[in-house]
Amino acid sequence: MSASSISRACEAFASAGETLDVAADTSVGALLDRLRGRGGAFAVELAPGRAYRVAVNHVLSGPETIVRAGDEVAVFPPVTGG
Please state, for a pLDDT cut of 70, what percent of the chain lies above it: 74
Tell me how far the alpha carbon of residue 33 is from its chain's centroid.
10
pLDDT digits (tens, 9 = 90+) for 39-67: 988 898 889 888 888 999 999 999 999 99
**Average pLDDT value over all residues in the chain:** 80
CATH number of domain containing 61? 3.10.20.30
> Would residue 51 count as lying in a domain?
yes
CA distance 30 to 66: 9
For 53, the domain range is 3-76
Q: Is the pLDDT confidence value at 2 over 50?
A: no
CA distance 33 to 19: 16
Q: With contact defined as beta carbons under 8 Å apart, do 61 and 72 qualify?
A: no
> Would residue 53 count as lying in a domain?
yes
What pLDDT shows up at residue 20?
A: 83
What pLDDT shows up at residue 18?
A: 76
Q: For residue 79, how many C-alpha atoms fall within 13 Å in the half-sphere facing its CB?
A: 12
CA distance 32 to 13: 13
Query: Could you give the number of structural domains in the chain?
Result: 1
